[in-house]
């Protein structure tokens, strides 16, 4: 029991103090593995928001390549989204993953987002397309 309390305390402290580690090929590999396990059912293999569960969801999982990120798209923003989730949606918090794994996911999501941000590769919702142009 004491151990559990200690773990929770350390964990909360770690989230508050987290500074982004540098990205690296090894970290991205880790991110890919975790993404395949935890995120692909909704976001799809390439992050296009077309996983097997996506059709049944509203709001739809974000298409990383074309949709705006409402929480921001710096690594620390995506880390926060993964850690805390998006309230009232099925995008739940992945706080049970280690901090390193959540950073690896943040970098991998941005890798999938790629340099083509704002250049739609698939039909994007009109509202998002407009937002990108500003
Ligand atoms: C059960 C389905 C589901 C799973 C699993 C899931 N997501 Fe999501 N995700 C969503 C939905 C739905 C949204 C859009 C929510 C909204 O519109 O606010 C979303 C949004 C996002 C966003 C956009 C955040 C922003 O600022 O707009 C990111 C980044 C993200 N997810 C990353 C992940 C990662 C990384 C994983 C795996 C660890 C994951 N998601 C797992 C459904 C899911």
Q: Which domains are present in the chain? A: 21-133 (1.10.760.10)
The yes-or-no verdict on residue 125 having pLDDT over 80 is no
Q: What is the pLDDT of residue 29?
A: 97
Question: What is the C-alpha separation between 28 and 30, in angstroms, rounded?
Answer: 5
The pLDDT-based confidence of 34 (bands split at 50, 70, 90) is very high
Rg (CA), the chain: 16
Tokens representing residue 62 in the block = 């974000």
pTM of the complete model = 0.80
Question: Using CA positions, which residue lies closest to atom 37 of ligand 1?
Answer: 39
Q: What is the pLDDT of residue 20?
A: 82
CA of 121 to the centre of ligand 1 (A): 19
Pocket of ligand 1 (CB under 6 A): 38-39, 41-43, 53, 57, 59, 61-62, 69-71, 78, 81-82, 86, 89-91, 94, 105, 109
CA distances from 109 to 1, 30, 75, 105, 126 (A): 36, 12, 9, 6, 22
Question: What totals of helices (H) and strands (E) does the chain contain, helices first?
Answer: 6, 0
CA distances from 22 to 3, 33, 40, 61, 121 (A): 30, 18, 24, 27, 29
């Amino acid at each position: 029991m004491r151990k559990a309390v200690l773990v929770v305390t350390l964990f909360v402290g770690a989230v508050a103090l987290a500074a982004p580690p540098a990205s690296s090929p090894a970290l991205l590999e880790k991110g890919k593995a975790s993404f395949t396990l935890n995120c692909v059912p909704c976001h799809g293999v390439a992050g296009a928001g077309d996983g097997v569960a996506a059709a049944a969801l509203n709001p739809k999982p974000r298409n990383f390549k074309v949709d705006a990120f409402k929480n921001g798209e710096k690594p620390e923003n995506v880390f926060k989204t993964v850690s805390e989730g998006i309230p009232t949606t099925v995008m739940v918090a992945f706080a049970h993953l280690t901090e390193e794994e959540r950073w690896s996911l943040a970098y991998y999501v941005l890798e999938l987002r790629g340099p083509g941000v704002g250049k739609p590769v698939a039909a994007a919702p009109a509202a998002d397309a407009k937002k990108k142009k500003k």
